[in-house]
Structure 1
């Protein structure tokens, strides 16, 4: 049995599960497919679905927001439509020095395609990418 035989999920630490749930559910529109404990916190975690699968574990932790790297990326067909929908829900897109962003925060991706980044309330960074 190999690890590559199994699905993998991204896990994201947040400082307040209720505040995080508002962001992930209401702003991002991700469906809750499971709930559970997080260390010593009963109901301190959520499992969100995306692409028809369990995709993202979000759990309350004292280590929330400590990573400066992108923690998960969605690969989409229509980046403009997805960015527009999220912006309409109040999601703000990040801009990085040294990159040319359009007025919505979309920039060219190395090797072709385009990318946009956003952060959750704890500063965890996510990306949305498209080959177009």
Structure 2
């Protein structure tokens, strides 16, 4: 059976689960649907909901922050408002050389629309995108 018949969830490694909880729950406003062990770490994992179901698995690991690629993207209706809210909560938006960003850190997306990137405390990169 093809994989497109099943839900998919992104997994993100972090170096300190308590610091990650402060960021993902405190700054991003995500709600943990599940909390439990990760490998041998009691309470080392969280599954966060987004868009009506489980979407993001965050777990403590020595591999945290090793990828510079965007690990997950939220597709949002009002990018300006969400960037403003997250900035007020202490989230810093990344700027990349060679791209023109506005004062908020938003840039035009290839193919149309707009995008803004941010990183968690381990340097894991995430994006917010809007079609307008």
Q: Does residue 115 of structure 2 align to residue 115 of structure 1? A: yes
- Matches of 2:18 and 2:29, distance apart in 1: 15
Gaps of at least 5 residues in structure 2 are none
Structure 1: 4+ residue segments shifted above 2 A? none
Deviations 1:75-125 (A, max 9, x none): 001100110110010000000000000000000000110000000000000
TM-score scaled to structure 2, two decimals?
A: 0.98
Match of 1:131 in 2: 131
Tell me how far apart the structure 2 counterparts of residues 23 and 32 of structure 1 sit (CA, whole Å): 12
* Aligned residue pair count: 132
Shift of 1:72: 0.2
TM-score by length of 1: 0.98
Distance 1:64 1:34 in 2: 20
In the alignment, structure 1 segments of 5+ residues that lack a partner are: none
SS at match of 1:118: strand
